Amino acid sequence: MKTSLLTNELIVAGLQFQPTYKNGLNNHLPMTLVALDQMGANDERILLFYHQYIAQLENVARNEPFIKQADKIEQRIKNDGVEATLIAYMPRLIASFNAQAFQCMIRLSYAIKSQQQREIAYALAYWEQSYQLITPLSITEKYNAEQQLEQLVYAFSNSSFQTNNVSQRIFEVAQHPNYLKLASVPADMTIEKVLQLVVEYYHKTNNSTLLHGITALHAFIELLQYFPEKQTALQWFWQSYTAAFATVGKNLPQSRDVLPPPPHLSWLETITLGALSNNDHTITLIYSCSELYKRYPLAELKYIANQCIANESL
pLDDT in tens, 32-62: 999 999 999 999 999 999 999 999 999 998 8
Q: Phi and psi dihedrals of 140, rounded to 5? A: -140, 155
Confidence of residue 261 (pLDDT cuts 50, 70, 90): low
Residue 7: per-residue pLDDT: 97
What pTM, to 2 d.p., does this model score?
A: 0.95
Backbone φ and ψ of 21, nearest 5°? -155, 165
Nearest Cα neighbor of 54 from 17, 83, 9 is 17
Give the span between the Cα atoms of 125 and 74, in whole angstroms.
Answer: 9
Average of per-residue pLDDT across 208-229: 96
For the segment 249-276, the average pLDDT, to the nearest whole number, is 77
Q: What is the structure's pLDDT at 128?
A: 95
Distance from chain centroid for Cα 147 = 24
Predicted pLDDT at 117: 97
Q: What digits encode the pLDDT tens for the residues 147-184?
A: 999 999 999 988 777 777 888 889 889 889 999 999 99
In this structure, are strands 25-26 and 139-140 parallel, antiparallel, or unpaired? unpaired
The reported pLDDT for the residue numbered 1 is 80
- Judged against a pLDDT cut of 80, whether residue 264 lies above it is answered with yes
CA-closest candidate to residue 288, choices 228, 235, 231, 213:
213
86-116 core/surface letters (b: 16 or more CB in 10 A; e: else): beebbeebbbbbbbbbbbbbbbbbbbbbbeb
Residue 145: which pLDDT band, with cuts at 50, 70 and 90?
very high
* pLDDT the model gives residue 256: 55
